[in-house]
Chain A
Amino acid sequence: MNRELKALGAGILTSGLALGGAFVFGKALQQQARADSHQLPPPAVSGQGSPPMSTPEMVAAGRKLFLNSCAHCHGVDARGDEGPDLHDLQMSDRHIVSVIKTGFKDEMPSFAKKHSDAEISEILAYVRSLKDDPPPADAAP
């Protein structure tokens, strides 16, 4: 019985340490991501790297919408400012659309009322096209 109780205490302690460690690690990564954000001139619009259903026209339209609604926080080059860098997002199209529509509590507003589904698709096409943007010059090794 004694051993089981000691083991329970050790389990709770280890769980707490693991969660605390994950929290500290996450915070450190957030700070690193902010530090790595850059403000650069806007990249040339390109259809390369965009979703299969997107067209260069969609990407261009998406860039205009992005500059009006998103660049304030994500930077005109989408490399992040207050908001994160949007290059090479490793998440599904559905999730990106959902984030644009829903936002993040206390971090990012919802754009569901401001933009139609078609406009959000254009923003998505632009964000996906960023994957092939060259990295900032000062990020080179």
Chain B
Amino acid sequence: MDIPWAKIHGAATHLPLALAGCSWLFDAAGFALARRPAGPQLNVVGYWTMLLAGLGTFPAVASGLIMTKGEMLGSDLVRFHHLFVWPAFALLVGLATWRAIVGTTTRRRVFAGYLAVSFTAAVLVAGAGYWGGEMLLGN
């Protein structure tokens, strides 16, 4: 039986893609509304979405590697895709680990740094998604 790895990869990648962006949005809103009752609750959502995004990167990367028979850099569109994928993968796993240990929120200055890095991760994973889409669906 042929396993449709391209479809599985496409499905798997949308989880971290969406969750990384959502996590940043919830955390940024929680940061901005820190003195209001909703602030900490928004950070709880940001916490769990980041943990799920970090976990979601593993099936996404594994299915991509299987689909391409172990291609890790390549050229042209694949290279563009991978230049975003690997930093995004490393950042999301690292951020999820950091967040799992630190908790839903921490000192304001440290959390601002976390927001900057998680924004970078969200942009990188979006870039990876864009080039991945160009590879499979581009004309």
Contacts and interface: CB of A to CB of B under 8 A. Distances in A.
Contacts of A43: none
A26 B90 contact: no
B126 interface: no
A11 B91 CA distance: 9
Contact of A19 (B5, B89, B99, B134): B89
B50 to A, nearest CB: 11
Question: Secondary structure at chain A's binding surface: helix, strand, loop or mixed?
Answer: helix
Q: Chain B interface mostly helix, strand, loop or mixed?
A: helix
Interface string A14-44: 1110110011011111111100000000000
Contact of A27 (B70, B102, B110): B70
Interface stretch (B18-26, B39-47, B61-69): B61-69
A22 B89 contact: yes
Interface residues of A, number: 41
Contact of A7 (B65, B75, B91, B98): B98
Contacts of B91: 15
Interface residues of B, number: 41
Nearest to B133: A92
A88 interface: yes
B95 A11 contact: yes
Interface stretch (A52-60, A68-76, A100-108, A122-130): A100-108
A140 interface: no
